[in-house]
Amino acid sequence: MKFIHMHETLRREILRRIDHGALTITLLARQTGLAQAHVSNFLREKRRLSRDAMDLVLNAQSMEAEDLLPSSARHGSVSVEEEMSAVPVVSHSSALSDPVIHPSAVLAMMPLPWARFYPSERAKPPTAPPGRDLLPSAFRPRTPCPWSR
C-alpha cells in the first residue's frame, strides 16, 4: 500500500468520526496543535498532511498506522483456524459505529472454545445404542412426522 492510500484512508476515517458527532474540526485542531484551517483543508482535499502531521492526528485519535492498512494486508497469510480462535472485545461505541474494527480499538481478545462446536478428528460424535435414539423422550414428537414415513 502506498502512503497516499493511507493518507486517504485517514481522511475518510476522520470524516466518518465527524459525521458521527464523535469529533469536530476544532477539537481535532486543538488535540493536534495544527491550525484549524490546515485540518479543514486536509479534510476538503485541498492540502495534504506531512508525515509528522499524520502522526499527530493518529496519536490524537488513538490510532496506529496499522489501522490505515486494509484488513488483508494486516493479517497477511493467517489461517482460518488462527483467525477464528478468538473474538475481539471492543467498546460499545466501536461496535455500533465503526464499520471495521481497528486493532487499536480492541480492549481484549476472548478465546473461543471451538472444540465444543467442531470436535477434532479424534473425537467421535455421540452415537446411540441400537434401537434407541439420542433425543430425550420429552423432545420426541408425539405423532410421527409426515416426512419420516
CATH number for the domain whose boundaries are 3-68 = 1.10.260.40
Please state, in angstroms and rounded to a whole number, the distance separating the CA atoms of residues 115 and 109. Answer: 18
80-114 pLDDT, tens digit per residue, is 555 567 788 888 888 887 777 777 788 888 887 65
What is the predicted pLDDT for the residue at 15? 93
Say whether pLDDT at 43 is over 90. Answer: yes
Residue of higher predicted confidence among 107 and 140? 107
C-alpha distances out from residue 99 to 20, 60, 96, 115, 140, Å: 12, 20, 8, 30, 44
23-35 pLDDT, tens digit per residue, is 999 999 999 999 9
**Model-wide pTM > 0.75:** no
Angle of helix 36-43 versus helix 3-19 axis, rounded to 10: 110
Domain-wise residue ranges, the chain: 3-68, 82-117
Long-range pairs for 92-100: beta carbons < 8 A, 24 or more residues apart: 93/22, 97/20, 97/22, 99/16, 100/71
Closest CA to 111 of 79, 80, 89: 89
